[in-house]
Structure formats: C-alpha cells, structure tokens
Structure 1
C-alpha cells in the first residue's frame, strides 16, 4: 500500500509542478513587437551630366541613378531614372507644343489625386536666364509619390517628373531616402537646360 501511496504522491507532485510551470509560462505578458525596418543611409551624391542626343533637354543626375533606355525608344523625350539601391524611380515625361496650359493643369490634378497625403508643400522654381520655370511638390504622408515636379519654358516645352517607390512607403521609415531624392530632384531642376 505504501508503494501505491508513493506512486500517487509522485504523480500529484509531478502534476503540480507541471501546472505551476504551465501557469508560469502562460502568465508572460506578450505584446506584439513593431515591424522593424533596415536602416537606410544613401551615399553622398555626386552628379554627372545627362546629355543624350535624342533628348530635347539636359540636366545633371546622381551617379546612383541608372537611365532606363527602354522608355527613350518608346516615347520621344521621356526618360526614367532608376535608383536600384533605393528601390525608387523618377518617371519623367516630356511634351512639346500647344498643350502646355492643359499639361500644367494635369500636373496639379495629379498631385491632388494622391492618396494618404497629409500636406502638400509647393516650391516655385524660376531660372529666367535658361528660360526654365516650374514647381516642386513635396507631399507629406504615406503616399506612393512623395516628390513631383514640372518645368516649362512657358511657350513650347513641358517636362514633368514624379518619384515612385517600388514598395508601399511608410513616410517615417523612408525619410532618409526621400530627403536624398529631394536633393537630387532640386539639383536636376537647377541644372536643367532646354536644347535649342
């Protein structure tokens, strides 16, 4: 009979230890961890001229940017500047002729149609010596295209660009990339020339 009691006692002790352990593990207060992102530190920008004979304009681009030549053949004057390491592209379009007024209106409409914007900051750009006038739009929030701009000579040429990311952007996570691209776009605008 003592053997049976010892067995029961051993089972009760083991069951008690198991329950204590299970309750102890189960009482851990679990809270979900926020999603982490890689730290992004773009390289210091160095620029080189983009002067392709087929384009009716020229400007400087970052050495980090790669020219997508497939668009050059398809559309006259269009060019895409890809940033492979940053997973971003500046899509640039060009129009020539009497469509400038309509193109300017369309450019403003495209900015207004962006979803998830909290604020739009417009910076007017003028370079009368080169006959280059335009606007830079900085969109705040988790929008797909946080930087848009257009340039014109106000009579015959219209150039529009927009930065798009290859992923769903989170404004706070990609702030260093956006700042880098703002500087690149501003440099592009400052060095922009119409070819005669």
Structure 2
C-alpha cells in the first residue's frame, strides 16, 4: 500500500508541475536613446578676468577666486573651472599640476589622447585631455595666455564611472568644453 501511495504522490506532483507552465514571452529588442538638445551658446561675462561661451542648458555657479562650476542637471555632470593668476614665474608648476591632474586617471583610463589648442589672435594656448574609460573624470583641459592667466577645468559625473553608459553625454559635453576653449577671452 505504501508503494501505491508513493507512486500516486509522485504522479500527482509531476502532473501539477508540468501543467503549470508559463508560455515564453518574447520581448522586443530596444536600445537606449539619449537625445540632447542642439546646443545654443551664450556669452558669460563676469567680474573675473576672462569671458567665455557656455551652453544655455547649463547653470553657472560662481565660486571664490574666479572659479566657477558649470552644472548640467539633466546629465548629472559638472565642469569645475579653477582660475589662477600667473605670478613669480609659476607657469611651469601650474602646467605640471594640470597635466598631473589629467594623468592621475591613468589607473582606470583606457587612453588619454591630448589635443593642443592654439589661438594666437586671442592669446589662448592650452591642452584638451579626453580621458576614455571608467575614470572619475572624463575630460580635462587648461588654457593660458602664458603671461597673466591660467584656467583649468575638469568634468565629473555624479555617478559611478561606467564609460559605456555615460558615453553619449561625454561626447556632448566635450563639444561644450571645446566651445568654451574656443571662445575664451582674457580681459
């Protein structure tokens, strides 16, 4: 009798388990679409010794000693700008510091291509660093007139660095940074 009960229990269990099968639901393939507005630039003129153009979707926050933060709330990104006067022949140390800040990301970066920037008409010279990979900062730059002014900037996102995920925003913001470098004027 115990054997019949056992087989009956096994048969009932198998019947219940096989009859409650969900049909497979095929999900359509989809890709993430990140659309950013066509940039519209406005000139920023403050009481600091430089002016530049920035994207209208960004917000400018003035800091002490002519430093500024340009925030992009929809992208959760901030471009930190630091201004310093050149005095007592400190240009070499300012350049070394800016280069060191960019290359401190080599631990996580896949590559750091450099693009020199030269605008002799406005006396603006600098370097643009594209930091590719899961580094904390994705783009850094500096510009100077080599005599009086030195401005460097670093782009950071308010998220764990995942370059694949933030890549579209990085490309968009790199163009904004290039525009800032191209439009900077010293007072």
| CA RMSD after TM alignment | 2.6
The aligned residue for residue 66 of structure 2 is 77
The aligned residue for residue 140 of structure 2 is 148
Q: Structure 2: which 5+ runs fail to align? A: 21-29
The aligned residue for residue 26 of structure 2 is none
Normalised TM-score (structure 1): 0.81
The aligned residue for residue 61 of structure 1 is 54
The aligned residue for residue 102 of structure 2 is 111
The aligned residue for residue 35 of structure 2 is 41
Matched, 1:162 2:154: yes
Normalised TM-score (structure 2): 0.84
- Structure ID, larger Rg: 1
Higher mean alpha-carbon deviation, 94-103 vs 78-87, is at: 94-103
The aligned residue for residue 32 of structure 1 is none
C-alpha distance 50-118 of structure 1, shift in aligned 2 (>3 A) = same
Q: Structure 1: which 5+ runs fail to align? A: 26-35
Question: What's the offset of the Cα at 1:57?
Answer: 0.3
User: Which SS does the other structure have where 1:40 is aligned?
Assistant: coil
Q: Is the 8 A contact 1:100 1:157 kept in 2?
A: no
C-alpha distance 151-170 of structure 1, shift in aligned 2 (>3 A) = same
Please list every run of at least 4 consecutive aligned residues from structure 1 whose deviation after the TM superposition is greater than 3 angstroms.
7-15, 19-25, 36-39
